[in-house]
Amino acid sequence: MRIKLAPSILSADFARLGEQVRAAEEAGADYIHVDIMDGHFVPNLTMGPGVVGAVRRVTSLPLDVHLMIESPDSLLSSFVESGASTITVHQEACNVHLHYLLSKIRDMGVRAGVAVNPSTPIAVLEEVLGLADLVLVMTVNPGFGGQKMIPATIEKVRRLASLMSAQGSRAEIEVDGGITPENAGGLVAAGAQVLVAGSSVFNGQASVAENVAALRRAIEAYTC
Ligand code: DX5
Ligand code: ZN
C-alpha cells in the first residue's frame, strides 16, 4: 500500500503560499493538510475557508482540512464550498453527537475524518469507526507546528489499527505532529497510512522537494 504524505501549510511561508503548495505537489505530496484553529479549542489562530479556497485554486491535490475549532457544525458548509476534500473534526470539540456530525460531513459529499488528542483514548471511537473515512491520531497536543512527537502515540496507532481491523473499518489512519524522517518509519510500521508533516517539509535548510524526498525514503525503508 502506498503511504501518503500530507504537507501541512501551517509551516509554509504564507507570503508565498501558492508557490509552496505547488512545490509540495511537484515533490509528490498526496494531500495538502490545512490546519484551522480558532483560539478556543486550541490556543492559536490560523486560517479559515478563504485560505482553503485560495489553496484549492492552485492545486489539484485533495485538501485535508483539520478543524481544531469548537462547534465545527456551523462552519462545515463553508469549508465544503471552499473546496475541502476531507473534513476532520475533533472528538473533543463536538458539541453535538459525533455520530450526527460524521454522517453530516459525508452527506455533504466530502470524506469524514475524526481526530483524537494524545490524552483521549482510542476507545471513544469504537461506535463511530464505521462512519469515518479517516481517523487522525494526534502525535502532539494540537495548536502549534514544530513540536516533538509524543512517543507513546506510536502504541496508540497500533491499538487503533487492531481495533479497525477487528471492525473491518477501511478508514485511513493519519498521524499529525512532529513527524520527521527519523520517526516516520516507526509510525508506518505501527499502522499509519497518512503522515502529516509541517516543519519537516516547509522549514529548514533544504528545499520542499528534498524534504519530501527524505520523508519518502524513510517510509520506503519500512515498507519494502
Ligand atoms: C498541530 C497541527 C499540525 C501541524 C504539524 O496542531 O495539527 O498539522 O501543522 O506541524 P509539525 O509537522 O511541524 O509538527
Ligand atoms: Zn493538523
Report the nearest atom of ligand 1 relative to the CA of 179.
12
Q: Which of 42, 89, 147 to mutate to test the pocket of ligand 1 (most atoms within 8 A of CB)?
A: 147
**Gap between the Cα atoms of 167 and 183, Å rounded:** 28
- Segment 119-141 mean pLDDT: 97
Whose CA is closest to atom 1 on ligand 1? 142
Do residues 196 and 176 touch, judged by C-beta distance below 8 A? yes
**Gap between the Cα atoms of 93 and 78, Å rounded:** 18
Has this prediction a pTM greater than 0.95?
yes
Which ligand has the shortest distance to the CA of 215? 1
Residue with cell 503522515: 195
Reported as a pLDDT band with limits 50, 70 and 90, residue 221 is confident
Please name the amino acid found at residue 15: A
Query: Of 35, 38, 64, 133, which one is the catalytic site residue?
Result: 35
**Gap between the Cα atoms of 48 and 76, Å rounded:** 11
pLDDT more than 70, % of the chain: 100
**Gap between the Cα atoms of 20 and 12, Å rounded:** 7
Q: How far is CA 108 from the centre of its chain?
A: 19
